[in-house]
Amino acid sequence: MTILLHHHPWSRAATTVWVLEEIGQPYKLNTVDLRAGEHREDKHKARNRMMKLPVIEDGDVVMAESAAIGVYLADRYALGTLAPALDDPRRGAYLRWCFFGPSVIEPACMAKASGWEYSESSAGFGTYENMIATLEEGLAEGPWLLGEQFTMADVIVGATVRFLQQFKMIESEGALGAYVERLNTRPALQRADAKNQALIVELGLA
């Protein structure tokens, strides 16, 4: 079965290309032109009420939310390799990191970059400083979040860190910088970057 990714190279769908390259299942891309507003058209709104990318279609499954897509595809196609098996005790740490990307790293960086005033105790993402310290401690043993085993958690967290570094919204020195350098050596990431870059040129976005 071929997985369909509704995609634009200037979106988080670029990360889903990396997810798909790691998974190794056949897939194709359908460009949804963000600049032309195609994501707000009824056709795309029916796929994702949030009118955002990425969205995948895998048989009867139509789903949005990039981290959830990564978890779903790893469970379905790479259980025991990119996702710890359901009875593997490392599954707890794995899921924790998969959720940490969108629910802690992203909002903590956004809060810092935008100068939000908020109650650190009430906000689920706490403080930027605590988030960085947690991430650095999580990577202390390394090379990956679960130690020797590279998992989908590294794609979800790693892609978020890499993306935020590009926009100077998160530290790029020390442990996090070294982590991104290790991620950059993944052949699947290199293939995804090449595909996304080729599309950027093809769509005249370069």
Q: Among 11, 19, 29, 151, indicate the residue that binds ligand GSH (CB under 6 A).
A: 11
Closer CB to ligand GSH, 65 or 75, in the complex = 65
Closer CB to ligand GSH, 71 or 132, in the complex = 71
Strand partners, 27: 3
Within 67-96, the residues that bind ligand GSH by CB under 6 A are 67
Dihedral sign for Cα atoms in the order 5, 72, 76, 42: negative
Closer CB to ligand GSH, 85 or 165, in the complex = 165
How many residues bind ligand GSH (CB under 6 A)? The answer is 12
Position 44 contacts ligand GSH (CB under 6 A): no
Q: Among 6, 7, 39, 47, indicate the residue that binds ligand GSH (CB under 6 A).
A: 39
Q: Least CB distance from residue 160 to ligand GSH, whole Å?
A: 9
Characterize the bridge pairing of strands 27-31 and 3-7.
parallel
Cβ(64)–Cβ(52) below 8 Å:
yes
Cβ(94)–Cβ(83) below 8 Å:
yes
Q: Among 6, 47, 52, 186, indicate the residue that binds ligand GSH (CB under 6 A).
A: 52
Cβ(55)–Cβ(62) below 8 Å:
yes
Q: Is cis: bond before 143, omega within 30 of 0?
A: yes
Q: Least CB distance from residue 67 to ligand GSH, whole Å?
A: 6
Q: Least CB distance from residue 148 to ligand GSH, whole Å?
A: 28
Query: What are the b/e assignments for 72-101, b being 16+ CB within 10 Å?
Result: bbbeebbeebbbbeeeeebeebbeebbebb
Position 63 contacts ligand GSH (CB under 6 A): no
Within 95-114, the residues that bind ligand GSH by CB under 6 A are 102
Position 12 contacts ligand GSH (CB under 6 A): yes
Say which residues have a Cβ less than 8 Å from residue 130's Cβ, sequence separation at least 6: none
Interface contacts to ligand GSH, rule CB under 6 A? 11-12, 34, 39, 52-54, 64-67, 102
